[in-house]
C-alpha cells in the first residue's frame, strides 16, 4: 500500500533519518558532558557556557547557509535541477565568506565569557575551550550548507549516515583526549574542543566527496555549476538573513539565560548544565522533525500543493507531541533516574547539584512540550519563506519579555533558578501560539521564493533572471 503524501507515516519516513542524525548529535553532546562530569565538576560547569557562546558566534551564519536547504527543496519540487545545484553553491560561498568574520568575533567572545561565571577557575576552563573551538566554526557553517543538497532532495539517509559517523569519530576522540588514552596526555575540557573540530571536519569532507562524486557530477552538474550567481545569492540573503537573525536571536537569548544563571553560583550553573544535557535529548530529535517539516513544506510549495504542505505540518506536530509528551512524563515522574547517570562516578560531589536538578527536570517537562509546538509551526512558515515574521516575533518575545524577565526575577528579586526555567517555558509557549496562528492564517501561501514574490514591485524585473517555468527550464534571455 502506497504511503499517502503528507500523512504521519510519510513525514515519519522522511524525518526518521534526520531524527537519528540529530539523536547521534545529542548523544555526542551528552557523552561529552558525561565525560567531563567524571573528570571534574568545574569542567562540567564550564562546558555549557563556552559551547553555547561558541555556537552563538556562528549561529547567524549557520541560519543563512542552512536556508539553502529550503531553496533546494522548492527547486526540487519544480524539478529545476540546475537551479538546485546553483542554490547549493551559493550557500557554500556564503559559508566560506563568513570565515574571516568568525575570526574577528573571537575577542568579543572572550570578553563575553567573563560574564558567564564568578569562579576564576571555571572561567579559565571556558576560555581554554573557546579559543580552540571558535576558529573551527567554519566547518559547522559549511556542513549546514552542504547538507541541504541531500535533505532538500529527500536524501535524508545520507545526512543520517554522515552525521552518525562524524559523531562516532567525535565521541571516540573526545574520550581519548579528555582522559588521555594511549599516546595522548589528559586534556580535560580542551579534549572536547579538539574532538569537535575533528568530528565536524570529517563530516565536511564526507559531504564534499559525495557531492563531487561521478554520479552527482553527471546528474546535477555539481562541478560545472560551481559558480557565483548574483541574483540567486541575493535571494538567499533576502530570505536567509531574517532566518539567520531569528536563529541568532534565539541562541543569543538562550546564551543570556545561561550567563544569568551562571552568576547564581557554581552549583546552579552545574545543575543547569546537567538539565540542558537532558533537554538536548528532546530538542535535537524534534529539530530533526522540524528540518523535515521545512523541507516537505518547501517541496510541496515547489509543486504548487499547499494542501500537502498543511497536511505535512500537522502530521509533524503529532509526531513531535507524541515524542515530547512521553519524554515529559519520564522527566516529571522519574527525575532521579536521569540524574543518576551524572552522579554515579562522584556521588558525594554531585549531591547538591543533583538536588537542584531534581526540581528543574519537573519544569523541563512542560518546557519541551511548548518547544515542540513552537518548532513545528516555526519550521513550517520558515519552509514557506515567511522568515521576516519569524524574526520579528523572536525579537519581541526574546528581548522584550524573556531575557529581561529572567534577569529581573533571578538577580533583582532574588528568585531561585527554577523561576528562570518557568519563564523559559512561558516564552516558548507564547511563540508556539503565535506561530500556530500565523500558520493557520495562510499568509505564507502568498510568498513565492523562487519566482517573483507577490509583494514585490510589479514594475521591478531585476530578479527575472531567476524566474523559471513549471517544466524546470530556465527562461530564454
- How does pLDDT run across 99-127, given as a tens digit for each residue? 888 888 889 888 888 877 667 888 888 88
Going by C-alpha positions, the residue among 112, 415, 93, 440 that lies closest to residue 255 is 112
In this prediction, residue 97 carries a pLDDT of 92
In this prediction, residue 71 carries a pLDDT of 94
The answer to whether 113 and 50 have CB atoms below 8 angstroms apart is: yes
Q: Write the CB contacts of 328 (distance below 8 Å, at least 6 apart in sequence).
A: 364, 365, 366, 368, 369
In this prediction, residue 454 carries a pLDDT of 41
Q: Write the CB contacts of 219 (distance below 8 Å, at least 6 apart in sequence).
A: 81
> Average pLDDT in the 274-298 region?
86
Q: What percent of the chain has pLDDT over 70?
A: 92
The upper half-sphere exposure of residue 27, i.e. CA atoms within 13 Å in the direction of its Cβ, equals 16
**DSSP per-residue letters across 336-361:** HHHHHHHHSS-TTTTHHHHHHHHHHH
Q: Hey, what's the torsion of the CAs at 40, 41, 42, 46, to 10 degrees? A: 110
- How does pLDDT run across 393-440, given as a tens digit for each residue? 988 999 999 999 999 998 899 888 899 999 999 999 999 999 999 999
> Average pLDDT in the 134-156 region?
91
**Pick the residue with more confidence: 81 or 41?**
81
The answer to whether 33 and 277 have CB atoms below 8 angstroms apart is: yes
Where residue 305 falls (left for φ over 0; alpha for ψ -120 to 50; beta otherwise) is beta
189: its cell numbers: 575540557
To which H or E segment does residue 392 belong?
Answer: helix 387-395
> Residue 473: which pLDDT band, with cuts at 50, 70 and 90?
very low
Q: How far from each other are the two terminal CA atoms of the chain, in whole angstroms?
A: 45
In this prediction, residue 348 carries a pLDDT of 63
In this prediction, residue 456 carries a pLDDT of 37
Whether 477 has a pLDDT exceeding 70, the answer reads no
Q: Any idea which of 173-177, 380-384, 473-477 has the lowest mean pLDDT?
A: 473-477
Q: Name the one residue in this structure whose C-alpha cell is 543569543.
A: 252
Q: How many whole angstroms separate alpha carbon 38 and alpha carbon 474?
A: 58
The average confidence (pLDDT) of the chain is 85
In this prediction, residue 99 carries a pLDDT of 87
**Pick the residue with more confidence: 144 or 477?**
144
> Residue 86: which pLDDT band, with cuts at 50, 70 and 90?
very high
Q: What are phi and psi of 254, to 5 degrees?
A: -65, -35
Q: Any idea which of 128-132, 388-392, 449-453 has the lowest mean pLDDT?
A: 449-453
Whether 459 has a pLDDT exceeding 60, the answer reads no
Amino acid at each position: 500500500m502506497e504511503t499517502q503524501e503528507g500523512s504521519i507515516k510519510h513525514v515519519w519516513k522522511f524525518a526518521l533519518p534526520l531524527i537519528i542524525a540529530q539523536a547521534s548529535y545529542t548523544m555526542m553532546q551528552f557523552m561529552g558532558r558525561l565525560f567531563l562530569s567524571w573528570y571534574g565538576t568545574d569542567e562540567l560547569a564550564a562546558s555549557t557556557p563556552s559551547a553555547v557562546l561558541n555556537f552563538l558566534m556562528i549561529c547567524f551564519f549557520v541560519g543563512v547557509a542552512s536556508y539553502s536547504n529550503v531553496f533546494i527543496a522548492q527547486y526540487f519540487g519544480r524539478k529545476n535541477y540546475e537551479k538546485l545545484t546553483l542554490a547549493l553553491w551559493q550557500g557554500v560561498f556564503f559559508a566560506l565568506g563568513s570565515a574571516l568574520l568568525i575570526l574577528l568575533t573571537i575577542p568579543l567572545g572572550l570578553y563575553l565569557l567573563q560574564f558567564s561565571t564568578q569562579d576564576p577557575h571555571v572561567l579559565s576552563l571556558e576560555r581554554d575551550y573557546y579559543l580552540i573551538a571558535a576558529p573551527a566554526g567554519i566547518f559547522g557553517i559549511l556542513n549546514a550548507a552542504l547538507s541541504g543538497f541531500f535533505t532538500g532532495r529527500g536524501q535524508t539517509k545520507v545526512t543520517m549516515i554522515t552525521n552518525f559517523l562524524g559523531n562516532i569519530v567525535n565521541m571516540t576522540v573526545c574520550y581519548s583526549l579528555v582522559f588521555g588514552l594511549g599516546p595522548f596526555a589528559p586534556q580535560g575540557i580542551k579534549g572536547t574542543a579538539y574532538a569537535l573540530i575533528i568530528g565536524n571536519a570529517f563530516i565536511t569532507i564526507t559531504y564534499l566527496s559525495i557531492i563531487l562524486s561521478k554520479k552527482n557530477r553527471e546528474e546535477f552538474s555539481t562541478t560545472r555549476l560551481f559558480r557565483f550567481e548574483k541574483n540567486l545569492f541575493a535571494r538567499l540573503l533576502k530570505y536567509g538573513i531574517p532566518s539567520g537573525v531569528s536563529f541568532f536571536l534565539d541562541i543569543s537569548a538562550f546564551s543570556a539565560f545561561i550567563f544569568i544563571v551562571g552568576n547564581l553560583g557554581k552549583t546552579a550553573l552545574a545543575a543547569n548544565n546537567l538539565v540542558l544535557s537532558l533537554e538536548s535529548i528532546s530538542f535535537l530529535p524534534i529539530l530533526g522533525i522540524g528540518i523535515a517539516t521545512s523541507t516537505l513544506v518547501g517541496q510541496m510549495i515547489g509543486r504548487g500543493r499547499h494542501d500537502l504542505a498543511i497536511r505535512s505540518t500537522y502530521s509533524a506536530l503529532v509526531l513531535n507531541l507524541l515524542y515530547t509528551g512521553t519524554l515529559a512524563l519520564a522527566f516529571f515522574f522519574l527525575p532521579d533516574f536521569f540524574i543518576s547517570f551524572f552522579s554515579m562516578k562522584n556521588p558525594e560531589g554531585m549531591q547538591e547539584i543533583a538536588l537542584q536538578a531534581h526540581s528543574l527536570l519537573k519544569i523541563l517537562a512542560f518546557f519541551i512540550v511548548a518547544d515542540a509546538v513552537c518548532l513545528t509551526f516555526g519550521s513550517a512558515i520558515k519552509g514557506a519563506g515567511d522568515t521576516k515574521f519569524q524574526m520579528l516575533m523572536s525579537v519581541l518575545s526574546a528581548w522584550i519579555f524573556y531575557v529581561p524577565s529572567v534577569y529581573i526575577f533571578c538577580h533583582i528579586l532574588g528568585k531561585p533558578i527554577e523561576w528562570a526555567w518557568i519563564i523559559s517555558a512561558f516564552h516558548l509557549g507564547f511563540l508556539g501560539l503565535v506561530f500556530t496562528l500565523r500558520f493557520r492564517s495562510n499568509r505564507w501561501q502568498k510568498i513565492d521564493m523562487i519566482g517573483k514574490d507577490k509583494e514585490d514591485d510589479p514594475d521591478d524585473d531585476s530578479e527575472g533572471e531567476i524566474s523559471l517555468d513549471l517544466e524546470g527550464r530556465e527562461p530564454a534571455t
